[in-house]
Amino acid sequence: MKLLIVDVTTEAQAYCAKRIESFNQSDIEMLDLKVKLVNDRDFLDRVSEADVLILGSGLGERATALARQAMTVIPWLHIVLYVTDEAYGGGAFRAAHSVGVRKVFPDSASPLDLLQELVAIHAEFRKEGRAREGKVIAVTHAKGGVGATSITAALGEVCSVYGRRSLLWDLDVETRDLSRSLTVNGVEAKVVSSWVNGSREISRESLKDALIPISSDVSVLMPPDRMAESMDLVCHTDGMGIVQRIVELSRVMFDVIIADTGGRMGPATGGLLRAADVVLIVIDDTILGLTAVDLYLTFVKTLVGGSDRILFLVNPYSGDLLGVPQIKAELEPVHNLGEMPWRLPPIPNDPKAALWPGSGRTLYSKGQRATRLALERVAREIGAIDLDGSGAYGNPPDVMSTQGGSGGGESWLKRVFGRRDSGSMSHGDIQSQGRNKSVTDFPEGS
């Protein structure tokens, strides 16, 4: 959110900017605040760049004229006005609101009053689609071996093909299946460990340092590099705060966050399920899978707070056992979930595609056409890609045509992400991509 502070002198501008500097760093990062200072003579040249215009008390009665000019240029601009304590009253309110000022504060107002107003404006921006609010999809399962990691990686590929800026978050701290399957490894995992042991703060900058980019649009967040920190992350109550902070920052930085929980339940993963927009429970079509889901639902429904965010995805073991109607018929009388959690299509049994780990491809690009279509429909239903399937860059390429069939051809990671088929990116490779650093700053003057 871009703020333009206007006042008559550099000192007055800096005084107003100090209110923002006093905000907690996490609030500045969550609102993605970028501040510019300008005097009243030059503000019209800069106002078109702003989302919020803050007029300082030094402007006096001239502030209403500037507000009127700004609204003429940008009718959707949000304007906050500061006045002296002596001028704060009904007359100032009437004059300000008549020209489109959103809020009037006295100079003595707490910086928290301004923060509250900026949070409200940012919430409106999210509703209007003017600010990024990434969708969090937590992929979980009631028993191992159902293909949750395969689904996570495949949805990541679907998002990449449709031009969605995405984060694949590996929370399987014991086996790291997602990272190993995508042949991702690196020193970045040490950053995650530093968050857990308290040697480094979780910030937008440190999150960037923890990411392993496999393209300009898709990154992987690994578990901590050491088992002690891994266990603390998922088992200790402090892990809840860590996960919450990662979720908050990721929503600002990515369009889609897909987390592979590894099926482990603890304070951190429980907090993630509560914060997620979609809880995707991957199940197979076996009797043991059915009974496991039955037990799993008894506490997951309470943890998530209902069934409105729960979706089931059947990933068949053989394709010849229980179908979705049978599984639904067994579970519905006990759990009363309704129709919505069952709306996703099952993933076709595709033995050849199941060999994707380490191949540089996923279930999506390695699978048959029916597999790809099912995964695209799942991605649309959970909101990972647009409902019309167009994505950010128009219609996706035909995966089959770019690979010359379901077997062979150029690997997904190389074709889509422009990276090696195996092995992690070197530190030099990452640096060469030119990571974008945080640009929140407070210039000294106009």
* Res 192: pLDDT: 96
Domain of residue 103, CATH code: 3.40.50.2300
- Shared-domain flag, residues 101 and 139: no
* Count helices and strands in the chain by DSSP H and E runs: 20, 12
Last residue of a domain, one of 71, 99, 128: 128
Nearest to 196 by CA among 230, 220, 172, 221: 230
Same domain? For 210 and 353 the reply is: yes
What pLDDT digit, counting tens, does each position of 351-361 carry? 888 899 988 88
* pLDDT at residue number 396: 54
Residues 54 and 107 in one domain: yes
Task: Compute the distance between CA of residue 218 and CA of residue 418 in angstroms, rounded to an integer.
Answer: 11
CB 137 within 8 A of CB 280: yes
Are 88 and 186 found together in one domain?
Answer: no
Specify the residue for token string 């640096």. Answer: 431
Closest-CA residue to 195 (of 166, 176, 221) = 221
Position 442 in a domain: no
Any domain includes 439: no
Indicate whether 445 belongs to any domain.
Answer: no
Q: Looking at residue 388, what is its pLDDT?
A: 65
By percentage, how much of the chain surpasses pLDDT 90? Answer: 58
CB 284 within 8 A of CB 317: yes
pLDDT at 245: 92
Provide the sign of the torsion angle of the four alpha carbons 186, 188, 190, 192, taken in this order. negative
DSSP 18-63: HHHHTS-HHHHHHHT-EEEEE-TTTHHHHGGG-SEEEE-GGGTTHH
Domain presence at residue 313: yes
Token duo for residue 380? 């649309």
Residues 372, 418 within the same domain: yes
341 assigned to some structural domain? yes
Domain ends where: 128, 144, 171?
A: 128
Q: How far apart are CA 212 and CA 424, in angstroms?
A: 9
The C-alpha torsion from 407 through 411 and 413 to 414, rounded to 10°, is -160
d(CA 1, CA 130): 9
- Residue 164's CATH number: 3.40.50.300
Residue 103 lies in a domain: yes
Do residues 121 and 207 both lie within one domain? no
Which H/E stretch holds residue 212? strand 211-213
Helix axis angle, 227-235 to 188-197, nearest 10°: 60
> Quick one: 81 and 172 in the same domain?
no
438 in any annotated domain: no
Say what the pLDDT of residue 319 is: 64
122 shares its domain with 150? no
- Integer Cα distance of 128 and 340 in angstroms: 26
365, 371, 373, 375 alpha-carbon torsion, rounded to 10°: -80
| Number of domains comprising the chain | 2
For position 318, what pLDDT does the model report? 64
Instruction: Say yes or no: 279 and 253 in one domain.
Output: yes
Q: Which residues of the chain have pLDDT under 70?
A: 318-320, 388-446
Which one-letter DSSP state was computed for residue 162?
A: T
Q: Tell me what pLDDT residue 5 has.
A: 95
User: Residue 313 has what pLDDT?
Assistant: 93
Domain of 70, in residue numbers: 2-128
Those residues whose C-beta lies under 8 Å from the C-beta of residue 260, and which sit 6 or more positions away, are 139, 148, 149, 152, 168, 169, 170, 171, 172, 177, 178
Examine the domain organization and report whether 246 and 231 are in the same domain: yes
Determine, yes or no, domain membership for 343. yes
d(CA 256, CA 133): 9
User: 356 and 371 share a domain?
Assistant: yes
pLDDT, position 25: 85
Query: What would the two tokens of residue 11 be?
Result: 């000192």
Nearest to 430 by CA among 220, 248, 169, 195: 220
For residues 113 and 157, membership in a common domain is answered with no
Picking from 76, 109, 128, the residue at the C-terminal end of a domain is 128
Task: Please give the full DSSP string across 120-149, using - where no structure is assigned.
Answer: HHHHHHHHHTSS--PEEEEEEESSTTS-HH
The token duo for 440 is 């929140």
**What amino acid is encoded at 231 in this protein?**
M
